[in-house]
Every structure is written in structure tokens, then in C-alpha cells.
Structure 1
């Protein structure tokens, strides 16, 4: 069995990459044995012996380098041969992954426990993100013309919501959920709904709601250590979503759109502090001419909200601090950081007091600088260096997606059923973590006990 090694090699130290390239035959055999042992963590959670066997075969197929297109047929024929029973074996593997009645939740619960053993740290970071899968035709669960990040435009695709985990030790995925667009809840989709075997109890939920539910489920389980949760502006644009994250006890650092408006608590000179929002609420005064106001409203003399982009450009150069960041595979970048306190609007009224973190990429050209804006509910005593580090902890999930799609067949599936999509993603997640564990052991063998591959290093410049 030839396993995928290049997926992990480019993340290792130079010594670790060399160790992968120089694996002897007996070490490859040891790796195959390690996969068998890894599968044993999950085997008891399948209901029947044949399910355990098919799960082992599917994992092997995902991890086998010389299967170019990792759909069910290609993996089955490669691993089981093309003899007289080949067609029956293909159908059996197809049924296992597409319709098999085994419990994803139990499998992922054990997976998260193992991730905590492998990567867990007290200040670990949950990462919320989406990944999209272009599809031809409209007969697979959730397929619809919608924004497809993979294509960079609106296209026919399935959209998945994912939660990952990152620490100084590495990163992997924790959970997933297929998004069903509103069009799938219309009457003209009922036949298609039944054909895709979507459970009747599934109700429409936005991507924000799906993501919040996944995070809440992970935190309620207590299986994994985490202190932070991060997301891009596709999720950070919802104050209701941020409230749900805060309710889990996590500190969020959420990227938000540049036109997000807040009430800054400091004037632009950085010295004088504005009045607190208790004075901004207009009292509810009953009127003799009509009913009492149903809701509070802003006092006419309350200050105006300020878009974050305008706020960033009005602060003097002396207020910024410069850092050198190591982020992603792009190498180091230099950025100026500014943090300040502000009031976040909630239902058009003053909401929670939050941190605003603004990052301005330093470029040698005369082009408009690249800005990123974040909100955070972290404690008042949180140092700037912590925000800098955590701001770089969102990109590891992009690396996970790239590895899963490039090497593990995450987007190679040809499955139309609701259950099949989730089963496939579950086993891809397990395969990825297997490689992360093996990478960690290679690093330990080379004396690099705690690689900081997936952490943004914040160094004052």
C-alpha cells in the first residue's frame, strides 16, 4: 500500500521532510500497521463487522497515493481488484458510504478526543469556515446555484460548513455539516428531497446557525481544550452569531467587513474618552396622544457610529505597532496593528463592549494597503501580541482544506444522498488527522517536539 506522504512533507521542518523522503520499506510497513491501530479506535463504533471492514478499506483508499480520482469505484477496484466479484464489491462500498446506517456522531466524538490528545492546548483555537464543492446537475443533496468559493463566483455547488482546530502543534478538522439552501425547502423540491434521503426533521438553517450549532456542540461535549474561536467576515458579519459564540465561554476574534460600524470609546486623539452608552438611550416616556413606545431608541444627542475603515484611517501613526508575522505558506509579512475599545451595535442600540483589532499590511509599493478588521470579546487585559497570534490562526483550516482536496479526495465523491455526504466527510476528516498524527511523530523523531507550523508568530519589528 502506497500512502500519501507529500501532504505532510511540505509542513515539516527540513529535517522532517528529509525523514519522510527517506522512509525505508520497513517504516512504510510500520505506517500501514499504524493505520490499522488507528482504525481500531473507531471500529467498535460501527454496528456490524462488515461496516468496520468497509471503513478500513475506505480510509486506505483515501490515503493511497496512486488512486488519482478517489471515488468509490476507483478505490474499490484499486484495493480489491478487478475480478469476477468487482462489481458487487463496488456496490457494497457504495452502499456503505452512501446509505449505511452508522453513527457519524459517535465516530466524530472519538475523533475529537484523539485530536485533543494529539494537538490539544488550553489556548487552542476553533476555526469556523466553509468549503464548497462544484457539481454538475442538480440531483445531489443541497446542490443549487449559489456562491462557490472554489470557483470565486456563483455556480452550481454543494456548500459545507466546517469547524477546525489549531494549536502550536498543528491543525485538523473537527466537524462538518451540509448546508441546504432555502430553495430545497420549497414544495417543488419535495421529490428530490426524498430521492436524496434527507431526514424529514431537517429544518432550514443559515450557515451562521449551522456553524454556531457545531461550535456549541463541541464545547458542550468538553472533549477538546479550546480558548478561542476565529472566523472570516463571511461569519463575523453577524452579531447574533458572535453572541452565540460568546455564550459558549469562548473568546472570539472574528474578521468583519470594513463597513462595520461601531461606537469608539476613545476620541481620535487617543486621549479623551467618550461617554458610556448608558447616556445614549432615549427614555421611554408615555405619551398622552398614543401608546407608549414599544422599544428603546437612541437619544438624538448620542454620537454617530463610525465605519471601521474610516476609524482606521483617522488614527495617528504613533498609535500603531509593527509586527512581523509568519502566516500560511506565503512566508513572513509585516503588518501594523491597532487595538481599541468600542461599543458594538445590537439591534440598532448600544450592545456589548468589544475590542476592535485593525491590521494594515505593510507594502513597499504605493498601492492601497491591505486592511483586515476584527472584533473580539477577549478580556480587557489581553495583550496585543495575543491578538496578533490568534489573528493568524484562521488560515490553518485553509491548509486543511487544500490537503484534504489535493491528497485525500475530499471533493472526489460521487454521492447524491444526504447521509453519504456526511459519511464521506467524516472519513476524510479521520484520514487527515491520521496524517497529522504521523507528522507529529516524525517531528518528535527529529527532535522538534512542538512545531509552530500552524501558529502565527508575532514579533515586534
Structure 2
């Protein structure tokens, strides 16, 4: 039955994808939107699976036999979820007519690089009403072609670039690593970029105005900035090419950088909770349908979690860690997903959930306090 649903049933998965994306956008809102692009790989045991080849995957930690897909995450201050994906078809696959036919690859599908797949997903969003957003991505997507295409669809961007990336200032043209060496000490500003179980995270940041490159025809130059992040202990540097139509403050650019990591959380949860990487399928249609129903399941969890967090009021005496997708799945398995059992006590399950979240909060608070003490002693 499932195989027929994935490969033989007549239904339009593209239309379903569009409806799910619209539903997610409506629930998460359209303020302070960051569209995050990244790819993830799923290990395979055979090249029979569509797109499977020996290629690099960060999820595998190197080169291996895997499928790689580029995903798009929609992130706002209230929550985030995956809303689109594209399977990467290596050039050897795209040129092999026999393999294409066996895997059911559509005739109109041609070879496209990962940045081109990302551009294709972003270009669809204005039609769905997403007209004001930042785009965030790692350095693999930092090429001029990608950045120009983002400006074509009227989005802003904060995209990581390599240390040998060249920029032009009113004074000179140089690599970003050489440019930052000439920065005076007063250019750096320390900002809090988030908090974890071990305490708050702080980095030093600097902004440098640079000339815009890749400006589309009949477009204004806008405001182009190089954003630099420095680890306060190791001194490790990271660079981000930023563009917007008007000048933006440092804290807003830093916020976009921080929210880029939301897609990593989406990958982890979608694979661990919704089976995104567990599809035992080999054809083009089956892959797209399996990934779609996994995305739908994860979107339901992610948005329900977001709504639960925004609607929960906590007392001043007792505090909890925010409810997570994993915690929500535990409760669903207790009350909804399995057949009800006579020995399940709903009150006990809810009390156990409250106890677990309260003690997680207390443990995280202790970690933060200890981190503050050790940080103060180092400085």
C-alpha cells in the first residue's frame, strides 16, 4: 500500500508541497523571516537509488556513497521548519539515459549545481507571498551567481565566504583575511549570540563597508557589507558577505548569522523524528514523495511546538525548558499514536513530562552559572 502511494498513486506532490509551504508560512508569520539554504546527505548501499553516487556529504563527514539534497528552511522568531527540497542529480547520473529511465527521472530534469537548485527554490517563494526576507547560507553558496540571483528576487542576504574571497573598498581590493588585519581594535564589538546548556555564547564582531558586486541590471547598488566574526578565546575568524537595499544595524546581521543554524536543527529533528533519511526508495517520484511526507510530519511537529511555546505561561516560581519536538512526540505516543492501553495513566505521563522539563531547566541554569564563573576568571 505504501509503495503504491509513493510510486503508483496519482497525486500532485508539487501542489501538495506548495500548500504545505503556504500553511507553514501562515502559521510562523512573515516578520523577520530568514530563508536558510543547505544540503544534507543520506548514506546508501547501492547506486540503484536515484542520484546515489560517491560524493561529499557533511552528514557523513566526508566522501561516501549517498544521495544529497538541497533543502530550504523558513525561520522566524517564533519557529522554523523545512518547506522545500531538491534532489541533487550528479552529472554522471544526468547524462546516463539508461539509469534515468530505470529511475523514472523526468525528461525536463537536467543537471543543476547545488547553488542552482537553491536559486530555483528561492525563485518560487515570491509567488507564494514571501516578498520580504533574508537569505542565509554557508560559503558553498557564496558565489557571485547565487548572490546576484538572490537580488533578482528582491531578497537580502548574509552568506558566508571563504578567507580568500576578494572584496573592494574605497582604499583597495584585497582578500577578506588581509583586509581584517588592518582593522583597528576599536572596530570590534562583543555581542551575545545565543545560549546553550553550558552558558551564553559571545563573539567579537566587526563591519566593513565594501563595494557591491554582481548587481543585476537596472538595480540599485544598495548597501554591501563584510561582516567578520572572531572567537573571543581562539581568535578564529569567519566572514560573511551581506547585502540589503538600505543600511542595517550590526545586531540584525548577527541575528541572521545565528538563525542560519536553524536548518541544522531541522535536519536533526526531521531525520530523527520524521524519517527524512529512512526512505527505502529508488525512483525519482518515490524519493520526492517520501521526502515530502516526512517534511509534512516534521512541519506539524515544529509548528505545534512553536504554538505551544508561544501559548504557555510559566509561573515565576517554577520554570521549564521550552517544549521540544522530541517531547511532543513522546506525549503523542502516550496519548494519540498507539492504541490506548489500560495501564497508561494520563496524569502520570503529564507529571513526568513536567518533572523532566523542570529539571532540564535547572541543569541548564547551573551550567550557565558555572560557565559565567569560569569565563570571568579567564578574562
* 1:298 corresponding residue in structure 2: none
Q: How far 1:243 sits from its partner (Å)?
A: 0.4
Question: CA separation in 1, counterparts of 2:202 and 2:136?
Answer: 21
Tell me which of 378, 401, 408 is aligned to 2:274. 408
Name structure 2 gaps, 5 residues minimum.
315-321, 325-379
* 1:291 corresponding residue in structure 2: none
Q: Does 1:358 align with 2:228?
A: yes
Name structure 1 gaps, 5 residues minimum.
1-91, 266-273, 275-302, 454-461
* 1:100 corresponding residue in structure 2: 9
* 1:129 corresponding residue in structure 2: 38
* 1:232 corresponding residue in structure 2: 138
* 1:206 corresponding residue in structure 2: 113
Question: CA separation in 1, counterparts of 2:155 and 2:176?
Answer: 24
**SS class of match (1:240):** helix
- Answer yes or no: is the 8 Å Cα contact 1:361–1:370 preserved in 2: yes
Change in Cα spacing, 1:156 to 1:328, as seen in structure 2 (3 Å) is farther
Q: Does 1:334 align with 2:202?
A: yes
Bigger radius of gyration among the two: 1
Q: Does 1:247 align with 2:247?
A: no
For residues 48-67 of structure 1, the aligned pairs below 5 Å read none
Question: CA separation in 2, counterparts of 1:108 and 1:161?
Answer: 15
Deviations 1:134-180 (A, max 9, x none): 11111011111111111111111111011111111011001011010
Q: How far 1:313 sits from its partner (Å)?
A: 2.2
Change in Cα spacing, 1:329 to 1:133, as seen in structure 2 (3 Å) is farther
Question: CA separation in 2, counterparts of 1:332 and 1:312?
Answer: 26
Change in Cα spacing, 1:162 to 1:148, as seen in structure 2 (3 Å) is same
* 1:185 corresponding residue in structure 2: 94
Q: How far 1:200 sits from its partner (Å)?
A: 1.2
- Answer yes or no: is the 8 Å Cα contact 1:230–1:253 preserved in 2: yes
Question: CA separation in 1, counterparts of 2:98 and 2:131?
Answer: 43
Q: Does 1:217 align with 2:85?
A: no
Q: How far 1:346 sits from its partner (Å)?
A: 5.2
Q: Does 1:376 align with 2:242?
A: yes
Q: How far 1:452 sits from its partner (Å)?
A: 12
Q: Does 1:425 align with 2:270?
A: no
**SS class of match (1:246):** helix
- Answer yes or no: is the 8 Å Cα contact 2:274–2:295 preserved in 1: no
The Cα RMSD (Å) is 2.3
Question: CA separation in 2, counterparts of 1:171 and 1:136?
Answer: 32
Question: CA separation in 1, counterparts of 2:211 and 2:323?
Answer: 34
Tell me which of 249, 256, 262 is aligned to 1:390. 256
- Answer yes or no: is the 8 Å Cα contact 1:120–1:167 preserved in 2: yes
* 1:309 corresponding residue in structure 2: 177
Change in Cα spacing, 1:425 to 1:314, as seen in structure 2 (3 Å) is same
**SS class of match (1:175):** strand
- Answer yes or no: is the 8 Å Cα contact 1:232–1:256 preserved in 2: yes
**SS class of match (2:239):** strand
Deviations 1:53-75 (A, max 9, x none): xxxxxxxxxxxxxxxxxxxxxxx
TM-score by length of 2: 0.77
* 1:27 corresponding residue in structure 2: none
Deviations 1:77-132 (A, max 9, x none): xxxxxxxxxxxxxxx21121134332122112211221122212322111111111
Q: How far 1:329 sits from its partner (Å)?
A: 6.9
